């Protein structure tokens, strides 16, 4: 931390936006920083991190960022080859500078970009003005030409390790490093040349010679005047290149009088628009709490505010002791009530340590469930179970799951603020209560955990008060989302599908599925042995040992020792990802790429099985957590463990599934899923008669379609034709391009395009529907499923080609995948309700990859199968009727169909 600036002296910090963003881009791997829409954010993340740290450490009173407009500047006009050697801007970098601008705007930070000038010139102009006005100036840049601006009042902070470490260049530091004064630096740079700007140097003249000449003659101008006095071959080379060096000197000099629309006094830091900043970070899916906290910590508004001792909303809160809850509920619980809890959940050990309730008008209460007396306990349980007592929760599924540990049943939930936020804006990645409160209510809450709950001490009244504020916030958010849901046409989706599904999922999570520990442990040992075997084979193939998990060592082996064809170049070398290894395996006869692919696959399977074993609870069952707000299309996902990453079509995956077995007291497992549901939805939405007929003919779909596309009889369709058509059909439902199809089928793009054209000639309804889907989404800004689930795609009109094309693919697949997801949820609810009404003991356990897994009680198989087939087939009416496949067995794999 540097010393505080003098109280009577303002401090201006200027940043070179393009220079620092570009450094951040190469410092952080793009593959680790990408949004769900495909937008890379590594440059944004690195820039924001350095910005937060620098504002924290330097504490400027004034601040601005300068950006280049384009490569067309006064320098390129004077020297057409200026920066002409620079490679094309990486596609992954494009668009990130624009988004950094949005981040700065939310921070109310001034930014400059002037046609015809570089960011350097803007910085030089502002620095010169600031010095004259008595400012201390800090310049953060990765361009050494800025060293000419250094003085007793101006310091350059130069990145020396990515963007994480900055070196302070003062006049003394420049003298120490180059043996020159800052004023002499442009003279030195002109002699040295600058390969990064394509400014030629003098043959045989390096930095030492250039510095020696400037010190000997005092300045560049004097050196030119006395050029004949420079001895030796270097001197002759200098004279031979004198005009080029003079040009270098003109181009290196920064312009200090660019006409700007603001002065340094306009650059004083002001409070952020915190709501806008939260929206930007959420949109970019920058979820790292440390970065958010660092950015907010340097908000000038935060420094100016008085310490907040009361919440942003007034409540009439009461900390209840034994005997206090029953009368409070009698007075308030008939009205809509918001609830917040502090809880933990692990089957058999889950508990609620604190509960807060809030009613309209400001009344709120906090209590510790362990301190309830008998009357309180009875009153609370009755209120929770009353369907006519409306309740608003945040993450209702989690509350229902853990309340069951106390024997409490929850009915009457009319609003879940997390699910409502998901339906209003499904693309966001944070549904934490504090983020939603700030965005929709303009109200800041105390720091929250990942699920939006506070971690409080039961005896701390201040913290109890904070939990009551959370309960009131849940209530207020419920009202706000009620209006938002109406606006986006999602009120019925919440009431009829998402809320009932969350209730069902809480039951599924508590039930879990039985696991065969011995089988899974044997599988783990098998995969571990396969990993070791692959390591041995790799070492034998190369002739020496090396670390298969080290990308650097693998690069050295593949491209150095074995001299295999080079793959895509990255900052850290040539890529060795799975696609690259598969390409190498196809391009060469060497066995190492194949061994590496097997090694990685077996290692991944081993990790999967290890995770399953660790997840087996005390009851011998695995209790996954289902997520409703992760996939923007409406699909469910699961975590802890993730059951969707178990391969379905491989021998290893099927072997792992044999570790999921029928539990004690039940006779078998039953699986049921829809056959080709996405394609049936696509046929229905497109109303293509040919595709609908292919479904209703009763023949194999892909063979029937292939015969029509290739113009041959069904008997003449071979396996390759069928494979291509299957890839085509599913690819269209997922927004696959001709290039993507060519990659998938390993054919050239021309053949893939011809295949798609032929397909569309035969199924014109599909072609017209896909075109219309994108056009309509571009006009409205969103796509919509059959049941009205919207997905907003603002990037459809983006100037960034990569973002626009990604959004177009989403516009193609969102209505199809989203409708399929809605159908599966409806089917789950219908099956569960029918089982309950029939008073059967069989129960639903899992929903994975559109497949429903049930546990069948003795003697109920036929009745359950009848219910499953009927309720799933009748979930919705499609012109291409839903087809349900059912299987039964002693384990998940044996129940496959």
Contacts of range 297-301, beta carbons closer than 8 Å, 24 or more positions apart: 297/52, 297/56, 298/52, 298/55, 298/56, 299/107, 299/271, 299/272, 299/274, 300/269, 300/270, 300/271, 300/272, 301/270, 301/271, 301/272, 301/274
Residues 6+ away with beta carbon under 8 Å from 890: 661, 662, 668, 669
Length of the chain: 897
Q: What is the pLDDT of residues 811-832, one digit of tens each?
A: 888 899 999 999 999 999 999 9
Higher pLDDT, 430 or 674: 674
**What's the pLDDT at 86?**
58
Question: Does residue 856 register a pLDDT over 90?
Answer: yes
Q: What is the pLDDT of residues 47-76, one digit of tens each?
A: 999 999 999 989 999 999 999 887 677 776
**What's the pLDDT at 161?**
67
Beta-sheet pairing, 351-358 with 363-367: antiparallel
Q: Max CA-CA distance within the chain?
A: 108
User: Is 316-512 the same fold as 11-171+254-267?
Assistant: no
* Average pLDDT in the chain: 86
Least confident of 46-60, 206-220, 279-293, 393-407: 206-220
Higher pLDDT, 533 or 93: 533
**What's the pLDDT at 687?**
93
Cα–Cα dist 422/394, whole Å: 12
Q: How far is CA 594 from CA 394, 541, 558, 585, 604, in A?
A: 48, 11, 12, 6, 16
Residues 6+ away with beta carbon under 8 Å from 216: none
**What's the pLDDT at 813?**
86
**What's the pLDDT at 81?**
65
Question: Does residue 87 register a pLDDT over 60?
Answer: no
Q: Identify the CA nearest to 363 among candidates 394, 324, 398, 396.
A: 324
**What's the pLDDT at 216?**
74
User: Between 3.40.50.1010, 3.30.465.10, 3.30.300.30, 3.90.1640.30, what CATH number should domain 11-171+254-267 receive?
Assistant: 3.40.50.1010
% of the chain beyond a pLDDT of 70: 89
Q: What is the pLDDT of residues 731-751, one digit of tens each?
A: 887 777 778 888 778 788 888
Higher pLDDT, 841 or 189: 841
DSSP letter at 267 equals G
Cα–Cα dist 382/375, whole Å: 11
Cα–Cα dist 224/526, whole Å: 76
Higher pLDDT, 838 or 428: 838
Identify the CATH number of the domain defined by range 316-512: 3.30.420.10
415, 392 Cβ separation under 8 angstroms: yes
Least confident of 83-87, 107-111, 409-413: 83-87
Give the angle 859-862-864 at the CA atoms, nearest 5°.
Answer: 90
- Give the orientation angle of helix 764-780 with respect to helix 801-837, to 10 degrees: 100
Highest mean pLDDT among 81-85, 338-342, 881-885: 881-885
Question: Does residue 223 register a pLDDT over 80?
Answer: no
The tokens of 59 are what?
A: 């504490």
623, 515 Cβ separation under 8 angstroms: no
% of the chain beyond a pLDDT of 90: 47
Confidence band for 6, pLDDT divided at 50, 70 and 90: very low
**What's the pLDDT at 304?**
46
Beta bridge partners of 487: none
Beta bridge partners of 782: 792
408, 399 Cβ separation under 8 angstroms: no
Domain boundaries, the chain: 11-171+254-267, 316-512
Confidence band for 126, pLDDT divided at 50, 70 and 90: very high
**What's the pLDDT at 664?**
95
The tokens of 492 are what?
A: 């019925």
The tokens of 117 are what?
A: 């000038």
Question: Does residue 696 register a pLDDT over 70?
Answer: yes
């Amino acid at each position: 931390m540097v010393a505080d600036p003098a109280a009577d002296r303002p401090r201006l910090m200027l940043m070179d936006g393009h220079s620092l963003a570009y450094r951040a881009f190469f410092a952080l791997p793009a593959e680790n920083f990408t949004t769900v829409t495909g937008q890379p954010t590594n440059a944004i993340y690195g820039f924001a991190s350095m910005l937060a740290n620098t504002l924290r450490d330097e504490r400027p009173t004034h601040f601005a960022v300068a950006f280049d407009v384009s490569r067309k500047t006064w320098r390129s006009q004077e020297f057409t080859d200026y920066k002409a050697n620079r490679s094309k801007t990486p596609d992954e970098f494009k668009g990130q500078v624009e988004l950094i601008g949005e981040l700065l705007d939310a921070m109310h930070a001034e930014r400059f970009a002037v046609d015809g000038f570089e960011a350097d010139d803007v910085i030089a102009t502002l620095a010169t003005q600031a010095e004259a006005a008595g400012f201390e100036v800090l310049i953060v840049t990765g361009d050494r030409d800025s060293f000419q601006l250094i003085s007793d009042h101006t310091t350059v902070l130069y990145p020396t390790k990515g963007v994480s470490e900055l070196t302070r260049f003062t006049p003394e530091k420049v003298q120490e490093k180059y043996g020159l004064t800052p004023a002499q630096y442009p003279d030195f740079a002109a002699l040295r040349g600058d390969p990064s700007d394509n400014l030629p140097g003098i043959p045989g003249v390096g930095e030492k010679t250039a510095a020696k000449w400037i010190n000997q003659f005092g300045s560049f101008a004097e050196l030119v005047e006395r050029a004949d006095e420079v001895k030796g071959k270097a001197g002759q080379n200098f004279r031979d290149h004198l005009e080029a060096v003079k040009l270098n000197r003109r181009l290196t000099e920064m312009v200090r009088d660019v006409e700007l629309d603001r002065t340094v006094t306009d650059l004083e830091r002001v409070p952020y628009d915190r709501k806008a900043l939260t929206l930007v970070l959420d949109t970019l899916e920058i979820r790292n709490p440390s970065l958010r906290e660092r950015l907010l910590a340097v908000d000038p508004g935060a420094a100016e505010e008085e310490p907040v001792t009361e919440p942003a909303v007034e409540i009439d809160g009461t900390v209840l002791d034994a005997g206090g809850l029953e009368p409070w509920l009698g007075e308030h619980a008939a009205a809509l009530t918001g609830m917040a809890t502090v809880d933990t959940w692990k089957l058999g050990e889950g508990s609620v340590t604190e509960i807060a309730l809030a009613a309209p008008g400001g009344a709120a209460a906090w209590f510790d469930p362990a301190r309830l007396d008998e009357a309180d306990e009875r009153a609370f349980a009755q209120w929770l179970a009353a369907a006519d007592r409306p309740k608003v929760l945040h993450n209702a599924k989690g509350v229902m799951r853990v309340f069951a540990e106390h024997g409490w049943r929850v009915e009457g939930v009319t609003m879940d603020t997390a699910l409502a936020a998901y339906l209003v804006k499904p693309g966001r990645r944070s549904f934490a209560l504090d983020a939603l409160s700030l965005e929709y209510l303009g109200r800041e809450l105390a720091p929250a955990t990942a699920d939006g709950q506070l971690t409080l001490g039961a005896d701390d009244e201040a913290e109890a008060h904070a939990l009551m504020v959370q309960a009131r916030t849940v209530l207020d958010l419920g009202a706000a989302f009620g209006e938002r849901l109406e606006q986006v046409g999602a009120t019925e989706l919440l009431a009829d599908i998402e809320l009932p599904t969350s209730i069902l999922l809480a039951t599924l999570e508590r039930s879990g599925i039985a696991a065969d520990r011995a089988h899974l442990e044997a599988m783990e040992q098998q995969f571990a042995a396969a990993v070791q075997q692959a390591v041995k084979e790799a070492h034998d193939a190369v002739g020496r040992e090396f670390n298969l998990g080290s990308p650097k060592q693998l690069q050295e082996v593949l491209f150095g020792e074995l001299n295999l064809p080079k793959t895509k170049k990255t900052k850290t070398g040539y890529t060795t990802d799975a696609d690259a290894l598969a390409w190498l395996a196809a391009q060469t006869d060497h066995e190492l790429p194949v061994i590496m692919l097997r090694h990685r696959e077996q290692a991944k399977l081993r990790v999967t099985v290890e995770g399953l074993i660790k997840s087996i609870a005390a009851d011998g069952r695995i209790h996954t957590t289902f997520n409703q707000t992760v996939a923007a299309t409406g699909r469910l996902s699961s975590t802890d463990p993730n059951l969707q990453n178990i391969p379905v079509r491989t021998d290893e995956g099927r072997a792992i599934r044999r570790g999921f077995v029928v539990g004690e007291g039940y006779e078998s497992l039953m699986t049921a899923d829809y056959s080709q549901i996405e394609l049936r939805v696509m046929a229905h939405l497109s109303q293509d008669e040919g595709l609908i007929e292919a479904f209703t003919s009763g023949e194999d779909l892909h063979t029937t379609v292939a015969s029509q596309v290739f113009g041959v009889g069904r008997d003449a369709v071979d396996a390759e034709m069928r494979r291509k058509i299957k890839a085509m059909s599913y690819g269209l439902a997922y927004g696959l391009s001709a290039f993507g199809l060519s990659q998938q089928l390993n054919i050239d793009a021309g053949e893939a395009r011809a295949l798609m054209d032929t397909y569309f000639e035969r199924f014109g309804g599909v072609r017209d529907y896909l075109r219309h889907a994108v056009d309509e989404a571009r006009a409205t800004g969103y796509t919509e499923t059959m049941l009205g689930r919207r997905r907003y795609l603002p990037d459809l009109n983006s100037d960034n080609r990569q973002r626009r094309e990604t959004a177009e693919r989403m516009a193609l697949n969102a209505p199809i995948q989203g409708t399929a997801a809605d159908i599966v949820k409806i089917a789950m609810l219908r099956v569960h309700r029918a089982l309950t009404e029939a008073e059967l003991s069989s129960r639903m356990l899992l929903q994975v990859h559109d497949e429903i897994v049930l546990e069948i009680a003795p003697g109920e198989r036929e009745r359950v199968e009848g219910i499953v087939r009927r309720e799933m087939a009748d979930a919705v009416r499609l012109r291409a009727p839903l087809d349900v496949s059912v299987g039964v067995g002693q384990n998940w794999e044996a129940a496959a169909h």
